[in-house]
Amino acid sequence: MPLDHGLVGVESAPVERSWTSKDTLLYALGVGAGVDEPAFTTENSTGVPQRVLPTFAVLAAQVPTGRRLGDFDPAMLVHAEQAFELHRTLPPEGRVRTTSKVTGIYDKGSGALVTSEAHAVEAESGEPLITSRSAVFIRGEGGFGGDRGPRDGWTEPAGPPDHEVTYATYRDQALLYRLSGDRNPLHSDPVFAARAGFGRPILHGLCTYGITGRALLHAVAGSDPARFVSMSGRFSSPVFPGEPLTVSIWVDGATAFFRTSKGDGTVVIDRGRAAFRPA
């Protein structure tokens, strides 16, 4: 069955999700935070109240789609783009009500790019908390003669980066990150990874995204989540657990442009933008 183009523009019923202090701590550990970041990795350090990494917003606003898009081999689906905007600072524990919709299905020839948008509000007050936008690429589902989709005019800023931050990843990092909810066997099962064309399981794209968000938070926002407004980027190459990641950041006023690369120079997140509030 081909992808269901009738889903475009149809808003889902609200889905409620809650999280605890343990969930946000586990997420921080999964994206590499450690003893040097106690505000994000502990809840009872003396004089250090628990805070939440801004990129947890993507998980908090996620709505599972399952097979709603159609009948296709899940091994052919990869995360292509991710963006979010925070309307207020994330609490260590909370509850949201989220609606979502598919905003486009675009024909890329070798596959289809499916874009979606989600809006999460605080369950009790109804106040906006998160707007999340994402895209997935499904290999083999293109060629239907549709629109190729909008183009992004991102260009690399002139001059060297204002900041370069390198973080190590470790070989079993995907096994920890998956406990935050993404149990896709692409990141844990060698047989499934081989079906998708990889020699071994790859790191979650959103783990790489979270590592990148940590670098932006500390380099540009003074480690203060209340200053972190939004972040977007395009996934351009897989990361294998154990490969180091370097985030190159160019600052232009309240905006940072960024790119994340592996140790061999391969770009893994491209066309990055983030917005921050002044100190």
118 and 99 in contact (C-beta within 8 Å)?
yes
Assign 258 a pLDDT band (cuts: 50, 70, 90).
Answer: very high
Q: What is the pLDDT of residue 161?
A: 97
128-148 pLDDT, tens digit per residue, is: 999 999 999 988 888 888 888
3-state secondary structure of 227: helix
Q: What is the pLDDT of residue 186?
A: 92
Mean pLDDT of 61-77: 75
Q: What is the pLDDT of residue 167?
A: 98
Is residue 67 over pLDDT 90? no
- Write down the domain spans for the chain: 5-276
| Rounded Cα–Cα distance for residues 77 and 22 (Å) | 30
Mean pLDDT of 206-230: 98
Assign 122 a pLDDT band (cuts: 50, 70, 90).
Answer: very high
Mean pLDDT of 66-77: 73
176-215 pLDDT, tens digit per residue, is: 999 999 999 999 999 999 988 999 999 999 999 999 999 9
pTM for the predicted model, two decimal places:
0.93
Q: What is the pLDDT of residue 65?
A: 58
Picking from 123, 126, 100, 130, the residue whose alpha carbon sits closest to that of residue 7 is 100
Mean pLDDT of 107-117: 92
| Rounded Cα–Cα distance for residues 224 and 117 (Å) | 26
Assign 64 a pLDDT band (cuts: 50, 70, 90).
Answer: low
30-63 pLDDT, tens digit per residue, is: 999 999 999 999 999 999 999 999 999 999 999 8
Mean pLDDT of 144-161: 85
Is residue 218 over pLDDT 60? yes
Q: What is the pLDDT of residue 215?
A: 98
Share of the chain above pLDDT 70, in %: 98
Mean pLDDT of 255-279: 97
Calculate the alpha carbon distances from 222 to 211, 214, 231 in Å: 16, 11, 16
Assign 71 a pLDDT band (cuts: 50, 70, 90).
Answer: confident
pLDDT mean across residues, the chain: 93
State the catalytic residues: 182, 187
Picking from 193, 189, 231, 182, the residue whose alpha carbon sits closest to that of residue 211 is 231
Picking from 92, 76, 200, the residue whose alpha carbon sits closest to that of residue 142 is 76
Architecture of domain 5-276: Roll (3.10)
Q: What is the pLDDT of residue 149?
A: 83
Is residue 1 over pLDDT 60? no
